[in-house]
Each structure stands twice: as structure tokens, then as C-alpha cells.
Structure 1
Amino acid sequence: MKTTSTDESSAGGVTPVAPDAATLESEKESMLRQPVAVWATALACVFAFMGIGLVDPILPAIAENLDAGPSQVSLLFTSYFAVTAVMMLVTGAVSSRVGGKRTLLTGLTLIVIFAALAGTSGSVGELVAFRAGWGLGNALFVATALAVIVAVASGGRAVAIILYEAALGLGMACGPLVGAVLGDLNWRGPFFGTAVLMLIALLVLVVKLPSTPVTGERTSFAAPLRALRHGGLFGVSFSALFYNFGFFTVLAYTPFLLDSGEYGIGLVFFGWGSALAVFSVFIAPVFQNRVGAANTTMLTLCGLVAVYVLLGVFHGTPWVVTVLVVVSGALLGVNNTMYTEMAMSVSDNPQPVASAAYNFVRWMGGVIAPFASTELAEKFDPSVPYFTAAAAAVVAVTVMLFTRSAVEVHGPHAV
């Protein structure tokens, strides 16, 4: 992550300062010394991101119980991320008018309501519709949560982003396990479980998160789209879209290949999420400090190309698929941190606006990949989704090559 002096930060400067050992140690200590509000928001983020991986172990069960095919069930992801992506465009405007805390609480309330309703679904259509409402709450919560953590955390933006990515990784890791345990009882269990967890997070934030008064400046509803006129932010976001295609191909399509029951799928994706969490928090900063954010991103994308190709070749060998899925989690963890840090630092846009613009574009990968991957497998061959993900990763690398100069001028060079 980048380190700037106080004067540079206040002036909007972004000139990186090479860290010494004392600086690195100070950042590590500051990461653990956070206000209660930061930990409360991070906990809510864990529960929110659990909701993404929670359905993984029960995808085959949903297909069986609701008499649906894999491509129909994949719409659970598509509807969720379609609404999330579009609503990212208005989160900043809403937050600037009602305040960050109210926006967070509204998002959490919607998640509680629609997660509970999803558990009552009697058809795939109902489940897809309720997941879309869930996505609305997710959009209001996730984009605002990152901005709130950045604003409240001690230690600067670099520490805040690591905390946010740690929450993401922990949620991704725990989600499949919780989904497996509750899904083993009944496929509806994970949805009711999410509603309970998010209700707990909602109550904690009502008490622990300080009020965030509305500032005099209101963010325009068009601000995120205008922010994408910045070449660096657009390039990072567009590259992240193709990167996320592979991310969600692994997450949404692979469970149908494993054929190992709720617990088997849950354990595989627990390994995947654990690798994602560890590498996003501990390994990504090391590589970034050595070779820079853009170079780390491109090298990791090249590694993902190799993993996706191998998944395509060995898709019929469960133990190989399991190993490759966990390896992909490690690589995805590195790039999650890299992309978030680059998006938040590559332009001079306000952080809530940059976050909304970036998330709008990158979540489109989550809209396209689940349905596209299952359709490709059904119409062609089970290997095709992974080869397509490899091609998407190549596009992501190419876009980053053209964006690297903007990242190196503005972006983080060191942790």
C-alpha cells in the first residue's frame, strides 16, 4: 500500500514514500488498533460477503428441489449482481444526502428482509427475484462500508483497505461452510441463517457506529459515470470486469462439477476462501511492495490464466479441480487487494464516488459469468467455461498493460 505524508494527503497529493522497517511495523500495529466502529462495520462486511458464497454448497440441491437446471440456478448470482452493479451508481448520491450510517443501516435492513424472503421461495423465479432485492441492499451496504471504514479507520487508507479485504476473504471462506451446515438440514436454511446474521450486524451497527452527519456537498447521481472518464479509473475497472468473470466462473460453476454433496462443496470453497483471505491480507502487500500494484496484478492474472486452462483440461478429475480451486483462491486474494487499492488511488475522485464507479463496472463480471459459464457447459462442453475464463483473464492483462502508466503515476507503489 502507499504511504503519504500528512501534507501530501491534505493537499490531495499521491506521491509515494518508500517505507522503512519502522513504517511497516507501525502499519501492522495500527491495523489492530481500530475504533469499535471499524470492527463493527468489518463484522457486518464479513456477514454480507458470507451471503455470496453461502449458496455455493446448495446450488445442486436448489436445482434438484426446484426442478431447475444449472443455468437457471445461476441466475441467483446474475440477478444479485445485476442489481448490485446498477445500484452502485446511486449509492454515493444516497449516502451524501442521508449520511453513511443511515445508508449502511438501510442496506442491512433490506438484506435481512430479502434473505428471509428467499428462504420462503417456492420456485426459482421467486428465489431469483428475492436475490435481486438482496442485491439492492448489498449495493447500499458494500459501497458505503468501504468508504466508512476508510474514513473511520486509524492508519490511513492502506490499512482500511486491508481490513476490508480481510472481511471479504473471511466472509467468502466462512460462507460455504455455514451454507453446508445449514444446507444439510434444508436448502432454505442458509437464507434464514443469513437473515439472522445480518440482523445481528444491523443491531451492532445501530449501537456502535457513530452518526455520520450529511456534509454540505451532495454527490450527483451521475458522478460515478463521470468519474469513469478518468482513463486510469476506467482502465482498472474494465480490467477488473474481465478478472471477475473468472472469479465468478470458479464460484458459480464449479459446484456443479464437484458432485460431492453440501459438505464436500463447502469444504472445497472454505479452502478457496481461506486462501483468498490469507493472500489478500498478508501476501498481496509483500508483492506490491516489491514490484508495484500494476505489475503484481498482471503477474497474478498470468497465473490465473494457467489455473483456468488446467481446470479446463482436468475438469473431470475432482481432486485436481479441488487443488486448482484452492490455488485460484490464493491468486484471486492477491488481485482483490490490488484492484481495490488501485481503484481507490488512481484518480482524484472522492473515495465514495471512485468506489461506486469501480464496483459498478467490476460487478458486471459477476452478472455475466455465472449464467454464461453454465450455458456454455450445457451447450458445448464442461471445459469451455474455464477456457473462456482464461481468455477473459488475458483481456484483463492486456487492459492493465495500457493502464499501468496511470497507476504508476497515482497509484500505490509500496506498502
Structure 2
Amino acid sequence: MSSTSHSAVTDPSAHHSNLLKQPRAVWAVFFACIIAFMGLGLVDPILPAIAKNLNASQSEVTLLFTSYNAVMAVAMLITGTVSSRLGVKWTLLTGVVVIALFSGLGGFSNGIWNLVGLRAGWGLGNALFVATSLAAIVSLSNSGTAKAIILYEAAIGLGISVGPLLGGWLGGISWRGPFLGVATLMIVAFIGISALMPKSEHRKNVKSKSSLLDPFRALKHKSLLVFGIAAALYNFGFFTLLAYAPFVMGLDEHGLGFVFLGWGILLAVTSVFVAPKLQQWFGTIKSMCFMLVLFAFVLLAMGIWTSTQWVIIAAVIFAGALLGNNNTLITTAVMNAAPVERSTASAAYSFLRFIGGAIAPFMAGKLAEIYNPHVPFITGSIFVLVSVLFIAISYKHVKHVDDAESAH
């Protein structure tokens, strides 16, 4: 993988290959990615239903995101070590099995704390799968690194957009439905990867086993550290919207499912079609900062007009476009930021990013309980603006990302 560790922009095949003409193994991983990322948005429409059925407070229910993201953050540090020993295919399959097991058990849970614990196990499976799937798609794809990243972001977008719709539909039957649905789909993904992914793939990596310290060493590269901290700050806004907005919309499971479907569709479309154009026209860093500033204003509007239902609904859906652009921009920037293996860069960056994602949901629920429902969104807005200021202050450490792109 190190041979491609520096970037999409230097990949000559990126301009000539068809994005949709991929080996079957790529589509197997792509499908499994969609299902894995369904887990992020799947529980959104059922958060109020879980609170009601399990007699839990809002902040207790937001712990479903906190435990999931906290375990993902820590587990990201071991994914390189695990995959270099098991190989990419077996690491993916292990992640799929763990997700299926814990989401299935979640469907039979009878208490909020039990469910929070099972979501943590789900986070472990997701970490093994997510960190390895990007490396798998990039290495197996025949269309160049840049298009492989776009394909990966498309899988994320589809998963995040379909997840809430499926969650709303299954959640309308029972809040347990979405958990059992993911478990079933993961079994299908397991069969697909087992059958279609080559057995010999990446055996050579066993010769150079990754160390647990590799992600921390990677963070010595200031560019990677800057993007990681910025993403942690930005995720305070992202997960405030994702975990807390369902509580103030006043909609049932189906209604929430459709709102987050709109959010996810815009996220998917912009991540694949708009972000590469913005990158080409304005550069990665400027485009990223502009999207983050807009997102901060959207959160601020949600904080001011929290009790106006249509404003919250419109803001959530529109935010999908901003988040889709930003996700692709920051993923591409991280892949190009430092001269380390792509999987190591991803692990280091994801560790920092998910720390923000772990703290934000519970903090949002607590701020609403202590103060009022306006405060979580205003606080999230401030964190997102701080991430922009941090990138601006640290620009000298990351400007080479744009310099490399303009040179090509």
C-alpha cells in the first residue's frame, strides 16, 4: 500500500479508467461498506422510541453514539496491527461478524445500559471493517486512487442515506427491527466478501507487520495532526446534529427516517459529484473551510430556531450537502497529508476524529437537560468554527496538500 501512500493526484490511471468498471471483489467490499455505514444513521429515527420504550433520558440514549464512537476511536489504533497479521480479507470478515453479532444481540436487549454496551461491541466491528475497507477498495480498484476514494465515499453516502429510511421503516414496526436488520444484512455481506474477494490478496503485508505505535508515530507529521484535531472539533457539530436533532423534530420513526434520507442523499451526491469539482476549482483547504463555516451557521440557525419544526428539518437536510463535501475533502487531504502508509494515516486520523464523535452526543444531551434544547446546537456551532480557526492558524503545516494538487 505504501506505493500509493502519497496521493490521488499523482495517479496516472485516475484519469483514464471507468469508475464503474471494477473487479467483483471491489463491489463486494462496496456493498459491505454500505451496510456498515447504515449503522450510523439506522438508529437516528428510533432514538425517541428507544428513550420511551426503555425509560431512558435523552442523554442516556445519546450514549448509543458515544460508546460506538469511543470504541471505534481506540480500536482504530489496532486495525493496522490486526490487518497486517490476518490480511485484509480476514480483517474485513472479522469486522462483519462482530457487527452482525452485536447488532443482533442489540435487537434482543431489554435495558439502555445493556444496549449501550452492545453498541460499543458494534463499534469494535465497525473499526476493523471501516479502516480496512478503504485500503481494500484502493488496492483492488483498477480506476486509480482518486476514483477509489470517491467510490468509498459513495458507499458511505449510500449507507448513511439508506440507513435512516430502513431504520424508520423497521423502527415503525419495533425499535428492535433496525438492529436485527443490520445483523441480517451483515450475514449477506459476509457471504459476498467470502466468495468474491481473492484469498491471496495482501499476503505480502504479513512480512511487514504493523506496530501499535505506528498511528502515534504518524501523528508526528503535523499535517496529519492538524487534520485529526480539526476533524475532532468538527465532529462535535456533526454528531450533535446526528444524535440530538431527532429529539427536537417532533416526528415519528417514519418522519425522522425521511428527513435523514434527504440528509443522506445530499451527503452522498455532494461527496461523489460536487466535492471533486470544488477541490479542482478552489483547492482542498479553502473548500473545506468554506463548507465548515456554512455548517457552523446552519447549526447556529438550529440553535436559534430550535422550536420551529420546519427550520430544523430544512437545516438537517441542507447540512447533508455540506457534510458530504467536507467528508470527501478531508478524507482526500488526509490520504495526501503525510508520507506514511494510507492505512496508518487513516487509523491515526480516525482515532482523533472519533474522540470528538464520542464526546459530542452525550454532551449535547446533557447540555439540553441542564440548560435548554437551544444550547447543544449553539455549542456545536462554536466547535465547528474553532476547527476552521485551527486550520487557518496551522495552514503552513497543511498547505502542501493544495500545493501538490496545483502542481498537477
Q: Does 1:284 align with 2:275?
A: yes
Q: Does 1:227 align with 2:218?
A: yes
Alignment equivalent of 2:91, drawn from 103, 123, 130? 103
Shift of residue 406 of structure 1? 3.4
Measure, in 2, the Cα distance between the counterparts of 1:119 and 1:11. 41
Q: Does 1:374 align with 2:359?
A: no
Quote the residue 1:248 is aligned against: 239
**Which amino acid letter does the alignment assign opposite residue 117 of structure 1?**
L
Quote the residue 2:197 is aligned against: 209
CA contact (8 A) 2:6 2:336 kept: no
Quote the residue 1:4 is aligned against: none
**Which amino acid letter does the alignment assign opposite residue 59 of structure 1?**
L
The alignment's C-alpha RMSD in Å is 1.9
Q: Tell me the matched-pair count.
A: 402
Q: Does 1:337 align with 2:328?
A: yes
**Which amino acid letter does the alignment assign opposite residue 241 of structure 2?**
V
Quote the residue 1:315 is aligned against: 306
Shift of residue 155 of structure 1? 2.0
Shift of residue 252 of structure 1? 0.4
Quote the residue 2:74 is aligned against: 86
Shift of residue 15 of structure 1? 10
Measure, in 1, the Cα distance between the counterparts of 2:338 and 2:240. 30
Alignment equivalent of 2:389, drawn from 391, 398, 401? 398
Shift of residue 31 of structure 1? 1.1
CA contact (8 A) 1:182 1:190 kept: yes
Shift of residue 259 of structure 1? 1.5
CA contact (8 A) 2:263 2:319 kept: yes
Q: Does 1:62 align with 2:63?
A: no
Measure, in 1, the Cα distance between the counterparts of 2:89 and 2:7. 28
Quote the residue 1:237 is aligned against: 228
Q: Does 1:112 align with 2:100?
A: yes
Q: Does 1:273 align with 2:273?
A: no
Q: Residues 283-337 of structure 1, C-alpha deviation per residue, up to 9 Å, x if partnerless?
A: 0011100111011101111111111111111111111111111111100000000
Shift of residue 16 of structure 1? 5.2
- SS of aligned partner of 1:375: helix
Shift of residue 405 of structure 1? 3.3
Quote the residue 2:135 is aligned against: 147
Measure, in 2, the Cα distance between the counterparts of 1:243 and 1:305. 9
Q: Residues 119-176 of structure 1, C-alpha deviation per residue, up to 9 Å, x if partnerless?
A: 0101001101111111110110000001111111122211111111111111110000
Measure, in 1, the Cα distance between the counterparts of 2:129 and 2:308. 39
Measure, in 2, the Cα distance between the counterparts of 1:313 and 1:90. 41
Write out the 4+ residue segments of structure 1 that deviate beyond 2 Å after TM superposition.
Answer: 9-19, 402-408, 410-415
CA contact (8 A) 1:239 1:396 kept: yes
Residue identity over aligned pairs, in percent, reads 47
Measure, in 1, the Cα distance between the counterparts of 2:76 and 2:319. 27
**Which amino acid letter does the alignment assign opposite residue 109 of structure 1?**
V
CA, structure 1 residues 217+257, in 2 after alignment: closer, same or farther (shift >3 Å)? same
- SS of aligned partner of 1:88: helix
Quote the residue 1:3 is aligned against: none
TM-score, with length taken from structure 1: 0.93
CA, structure 1 residues 14+65, in 2 after alignment: closer, same or farther (shift >3 Å)? closer
Quote the residue 1:413 is aligned against: 405
Measure, in 2, the Cα distance between the counterparts of 1:409 and 1:190. 43
Q: Residues 349-379 of structure 1, C-alpha deviation per residue, up to 9 Å, x if partnerless?
A: 1011001111111011210111001110111
Q: Give structure 2 stretches of 5+ with no counterpart.
A: none
Measure, in 2, the Cα distance between the counterparts of 1:129 and 1:121. 10
- SS of aligned partner of 1:33: coil
Measure, in 1, the Cα distance between the counterparts of 2:390 and 2:220. 16
- SS of aligned partner of 1:30: coil
Quote the residue 2:346 is aligned against: 355
- SS of aligned partner of 2:331: helix
Q: Does 1:72 align with 2:60?
A: yes
Q: Give structure 1 stretches of 5+ with no counterpart.
A: 1-8
- SS of aligned partner of 2:257: helix
Shift of residue 12 of structure 1? 6.8
CA contact (8 A) 1:14 1:410 kept: no
CA, structure 1 residues 309+13, in 2 after alignment: closer, same or farther (shift >3 Å)? closer
Shift of residue 244 of structure 1? 1.1
Measure, in 2, the Cα distance between the counterparts of 1:251 and 1:73. 12
- SS of aligned partner of 2:220: coil
CA contact (8 A) 1:243 1:393 kept: yes
CA, structure 1 residues 218+47, in 2 after alignment: closer, same or farther (shift >3 Å)? same
